[in-house]
Amino acid sequence: MQQAGLPTIVAMSPPNLSALSGPFIQGWLAMAGLIVAIGAQNAFVLRQGLLRAHVAPVVALCAVSDALLVFAGVFGLGRLLQSAPALMAPLRWAGAAYLLWFGWQAARRAWRGGSGLAAGSAVESRAGVLLTTAALTWLNPHVWLDTVLLIGTLGAQHAQRGAFASGAATASLMWFTALGAGAAALAPKLAQPRTWRVIDALVALAMAAVAGQLLMA
């Protein structure tokens, strides 16, 4: 029996972090596997990092753009797919086929080797740098395919779509920050073909894992 004057103690269970951490980590891993591949956008960010020219705005623009595209894909495309379930199967097969092809290309580069990545000439003005970054992001079909279609299709399958999208956006932010801020320190390693063979091998494994997730969904 409760005594007068004493507050009632309500037992509160700890929050269920697994419901959020699972989709968050899956979104992070899916985006991390896609974003580390060498492309025009990553090469430009790395070059600006090596030259130490307008690194912060370039990183911010890339990360914000990826976040917008990811959330648009997860929530916009996800709702479209839920309203038209017949579209899910062909999108899954198309996405898995692209991922397998992408992984095969990375595996072949890892096997054959290639040249390292070197910085080119800098774009002097901040406006020119941001325009180039925006073009390499918003006009790049691979960015749309990766963030809107592939990540969006994966995220639409989760009950916690916001957690999945947040994980993917976090991976993008971490990658571009590390790429821009750490470019000078990593330049000697990144210039070695052996390092990119290891990276390409890891990318190939990640692509195969994500493709399997799509096919088994």
Whose structure tokens read 């917008």? 68
> Percent of the chain scored above 90 by pLDDT?
17
User: Does residue 28 carry a pLDDT above 90?
Assistant: yes
Q: Which two tokens stand for residue 64?
A: 């914000």
Backbone angles phi, psi at 36, to 5 degrees: -80, -10
Mean pLDDT computed over every residue of the chain:
77
Q: Residue 163: how many CB atoms within 10 A of its CB?
A: 21
Q: Around Cβ 188, how many Cβ atoms within 10 Å?
A: 10
Instruction: Say which DSSP state 60 is in.
Output: H
What is the reported pLDDT for 68? 94
What pLDDT, in 10s, does the model give residues 199-208?
778 778 877 8
Per-residue confidence (pLDDT) for residue 17, from 0 to 100: 38
Helix (H, G, I), strand (E, B) or coil at 111: helix
Q: What is the Cα 107 distance to its own chain's centre?
A: 19
CB 98 within 8 A of CB 150: yes
Per-residue pLDDT, 194: 80
HSE toward the beta carbon, residue 41, CA cutoff 13 A: 27
Confidence of residue 21 (pLDDT cuts 50, 70, 90): low
pTM as predicted: 0.66
Confidence of residue 116 (pLDDT cuts 50, 70, 90): low
Report for 44-58, 171-185, 193-207: range of highest mean pLDDT? 171-185
Q: Is the pLDDT of residue 145 over 90?
A: no
Q: Please report the sign of the dihedral spanned by the C-alpha atoms of residue 35, residue 36, residue 37, residue 39.
A: positive
pLDDT of residue 14 exceeding 80: no
Provide mean pLDDT across the span 36-44: 76
Rounded Cα distance between 52 and 109, Å, is 29
35 closest CA partner among 166, 169, 184:
169
Mean pLDDT of 132-139: 84
